[in-house]
Structure 1
Amino acid sequence: MKAAVFERFGEPAEVLGVRDVPIPEPGAGEVRVRMIATPVNPSDLLVVRGRYGVLPKLPATPGFEGVGIVEKAGPGLLGRWVEGKRVAVINSAGGNWAEYAVIPARQARPVPADIPDDQVATFFVNPATVLALVRHVLAVPKGEWLLLSAAGSTLGRMIIRLGRHDGFKTLAVVRRPEAKEELRQLGADAVICSSDGPVEDQVRQVTGAGGPRFALDPIGGEAGAAIFRAMGDGGKLVLYGSLTGEPVPIDPRQVISARKSIEGFWLGHWMRDRSIPGALLLFREIASLIRSGVLRTEIGGRYPLDDIRAAATEADAMGRRGKVLLTFRGEPA
């Protein structure tokens, strides 16, 4: 089979290549999935660059999610139950940028037939993160402000639509002035641009002196610190990424006197704490909100695996619209 492989960490357009490798065999409790499509997510590119929280042994194949058909099951009841079904391929170890992937049977999640392949390919990472952060970790009440950076991203857009659906207000921070009107049209209650002046001053102009009590940031560095400073007393900031790779410089006096808090979020850790009924409920919520358009993923370029470097380049482009997909049209092994 063909697989995207990198032998050293570095820029994806330089280190990624496609090679022929043996088709993997599933072991006990595992299934082999024939891949249909898989997205190029920021987390995947961070792995290739060697900047993700957990890194694979090299050489390695990236890819944390996707859609495919369970073609073969190893020993175990659960594998036999999903054999032959179309599933969301949740690959916590990575490896979906290939024609076939082997994953634990419990991570092969059947998805209703009315949800198209491109939405199943992007079913897990962003939608589950959005629901976990907004409805569970922060539990943003109706009518409250949620301050979010990187608001023009696929995940940021989902949060804005969820705000309209759930009744909380979104204050979106972007880097590009041309993105402001676009996010207003999408449903953001207010949009500010970091290039227009200090973020905390612009936030106060929108929300008043108190500032929002809930905030999300995937960037880190000074951008994350600005979000923290903009929050009101008793505010809580959740970091769910570190796109800059830089630490967030926090004034301890704000933590002490203003009773602000900051914590990290990792979807894999959060999911491991869910019960089986809780995880099933989450997946039902995601399916329902995809159908209604709230958690639907905008799709951009589609590339065959052989064009992996072009796909990575588009996925990295500033101002890109839509999630980049790798698509597969191989015959069953």
Structure 2
Amino acid sequence: MKRLVFEQPGEPRQVLRLQEDVPVPPLQRGEVLIRMLAAPINPSDLMYISGRYGLQPTLPAVPGFEGVGVVESHGGGWLARLRGGRRVAVLGPRLGTWAEYTIASARQVFPVPDAWTDEQAATFFVNPATALAMVRYVLQVPPGEWLLQSAAASEVGKMIIRLAQLYRFRTLNVVRRPEQIEELRRLGADAVLLASGEPLPQQVARLAPQGVRYAVDCVGGELGSQLLAALAPQARCLIYGSLAEAPLQVDPRFLISTGLHIQGFWLARWLRQQNVLRLLRFFRSVRQLIQRGILQSAIAAVYPLEQFRDALDHAQRPGKGGKILLRITSR
């Protein structure tokens, strides 16, 4: 098989290389062999390659945490047998998804509807599941409450705006570029704040004088620190990324006096904490919300596996307008 691989952490464009004629590893019981069709390039993939992710690779490593493919064989077990021949979305396989074949536990694949495109199915897990789990399962934002979020023009940010309309809570959305303001307003954002404007606590206080009790942040650094400072006493904030690659700065006296709750959110860990029945119900909800357009991902471009460097360049470009995918094999 062909696969992308890196033998040392570093800048993805420099350390990734295409290997050909690599043997497919043997299956273990409960696992399935998946011929990959397409896989997205997520920020977590790029951080994993560069050695800045919470999960460190065993080198040499194949990147790619999610994608879509067809189950071609299995290693035994009732669930693995049920997955045989199905087109499935896969999350966190034993081998990465940026390869012609990957291997995953049957518990980590989910059949997808025939009507879905490969591109939509490839983005089934990471962004939609993160958005839904954070606002509905962890924070449980009540109707009428404000939720403050950074990187609101990202795919996760847009999904949260659509979830807010469905579940009737309100969103304060922080963006970096002025041209993103009108786009999010058209999407249904209640308010859009410019990160380069006046300090975030002042902007938030003017729009939500009663205070904001819920927030999600994937930036960190100065912006994430301002976001925390803008929250009401006893507020809850989930940290699910670190795009700024800088630590949060929080005055301990502020935490003591406000009782602010700051919690890290990592989708893979959250999924491991759920039992099988709850996971099935959760992913049924994700599938239904994708079909309704609420958790759909915009697709900006699709590149053949061999053009991975062009794909990496596009994925790291500001304002790319959606997800960048690798097309690995055809149906």
Q: TM-score range by the shorter chain?
A: over 0.9
Q: Structure 1 residues 222 and 36 mapped into 2: Cα distance closer, same or farther (>3 Å)?
A: same
Alignment match, 2:3: 3
The within-5 A match list for 1:200-219 is: 200-208=201-209, 210-219=210-219
Structure 1 residue 232: deviation in Å? 1.0
The within-5 A match list for 1:34-49 is: 34-49=35-50
The within-5 A match list for 1:59-70 is: 59-70=60-71
Alignment match, 2:172: 171
Query: 1:175-216, CA deviations, whole angstroms, 9 ceiling, x for partnerless residues?
Result: 1111111111111100011111211111111111x3210000
Task: State the distance in 2 between where 1:145 and 1:325 align.
Answer: 33
Structure 1 residue 266: deviation in Å? 1.0
Q: Which moved more, 1:182-191 or 1:4-13?
A: 4-13
Alignment match, 1:270: 270
Query: 1:30-78, CA deviations, whole angstroms, 9 ceiling, x for partnerless residues?
Result: 1110011110011001001110001111111100111100001113222
Query: 1:60-109, CA deviations, whole angstroms, 9 ceiling, x for partnerless residues?
Result: 11001111000011132221111111111112545100010011111121
Task: State the distance in 2 between where 1:204 and 1:307 align.
Answer: 47
Structure 1 residue 125: deviation in Å? 0.7
The answer (yes or no) to whether the contact 2:120–2:296 under 8 Å persists in 1 is yes
Q: Structure 2 regions of 5+ residues with no counterpart? A: none
The answer (yes or no) to whether the contact 2:41–2:326 under 8 Å persists in 1 is yes
Quick one: which amino acid aligns to residue 124 of structure 1? F
Quick one: which amino acid aligns to residue 260 of structure 2? K
The within-5 A match list for 1:82-97 is: 82-93=83-94, 95-97=96-98
Task: State the distance in 1 between where 2:84 and 2:19 align.
Answer: 27
Structure 1 residue 116: deviation in Å? 2.5
The answer (yes or no) to whether the contact 1:233–1:260 under 8 Å persists in 2 is yes
The within-5 A match list for 1:174-253 is: 174-208=175-209, 210-253=210-253
Task: State the distance in 2 between where 1:37 and 1:92 align.
Answer: 14
What is the TM-score with the length of structure 1 in the denominator? 0.96
The question of 1:256 aligning with 2:251 is answered no
Q: Structure 1 residues 211 and 94 mapped into 2: Cα distance closer, same or farther (>3 Å)?
A: farther
Query: 1:108-156, CA deviations, whole angstroms, 9 ceiling, x for partnerless residues?
Result: 2112223332221100111111111000111001111100001011111
Task: State the distance in 1 between where 2:221 and 2:145 align.
Answer: 26
Q: Which runs of 4+ in 1 moved over 6 A?
A: none
Query: 1:227-277, CA deviations, whole angstroms, 9 ceiling, x for partnerless residues?
Result: 100011111111011122222111112211112111101111111111111
Q: Structure 1 residues 94 and 42 mapped into 2: Cα distance closer, same or farther (>3 Å)?
A: farther
RMSD over aligned CA atoms reads 1.3
Task: State the distance in 2 between where 1:297 and 1:236 align.
Answer: 27
The answer (yes or no) to whether the contact 1:63–1:97 under 8 Å persists in 2 is yes
Q: Structure 1 regions of 5+ residues with no counterpart? A: none
The answer (yes or no) to whether the contact 1:239–1:265 under 8 Å persists in 2 is yes
Structure 1 residue 330: deviation in Å? 5.3
Q: Which moved more, 1:7-16 or 1:109-118?
A: 109-118
Quick one: which amino acid aligns to residue 248 of structure 2? V
Quick one: which amino acid aligns to residue 178 of structure 1? E
* Secondary structure of 1:195 counterpart: coil
The answer (yes or no) to whether the contact 2:176–2:195 under 8 Å persists in 1 is yes
Q: Give me the identity figure in percent.
A: 50
Alignment match, 1:81: 82
Q: Structure 1 residues 330 and 31 mapped into 2: Cα distance closer, same or farther (>3 Å)?
A: same
Quick one: which amino acid aligns to residue 59 of structure 2? L
* Secondary structure of 2:315 counterpart: helix
The question of 1:299 aligning with 2:299 is answered yes
The answer (yes or no) to whether the contact 1:24–1:32 under 8 Å persists in 2 is no
Alignment match, 2:144: 143
Alignment match, 2:328: 328
Alignment match, 1:31: 32
Task: State the distance in 2 between where 1:273 and 1:82 align.
Answer: 23
Q: Which moved more, 1:27-36 or 1:12-21?
A: 12-21
Alignment match, 1:288: 288
* Secondary structure of 1:66 counterpart: strand
* Secondary structure of 2:46 counterpart: helix
Alignment match, 1:152: 153
